[in-house]
Amino acid sequence: MPLNPKWQVAGEKEFLFRSWDDEFVVYNGATGDTHLLGLVAAQVMLKLQQTPTDVASLAEWLAPLLQTEPDDELVFVIEQILTDFDSLGIIEHTRL
- C-alpha angle 32-43-23 in degrees, rounded to nearest 5: 65
d(CA 44, CA 68) in angstroms, rounded, equals 15
43-52: average pLDDT? 92
Q: What is the mean pLDDT of the chain?
A: 89
d(CA 45, CA 26) in angstroms, rounded, equals 9
24-36: average pLDDT? 87
What's the pLDDT band for 73 if we cut at 50, 70, 90?
Answer: very high
15, 24 Cβ separation under 8 angstroms: no
| Residue 42 clears pLDDT 80, i.e. is over it | yes
| Residue 10 clears pLDDT 60, i.e. is over it | yes
| Residue 1 clears pLDDT 50, i.e. is over it | no
* DSSP element (H, E) containing 86: helix 72-87
| Residue 20 clears pLDDT 90, i.e. is over it | no
What's the pLDDT band for 4 if we cut at 50, 70, 90?
Answer: confident
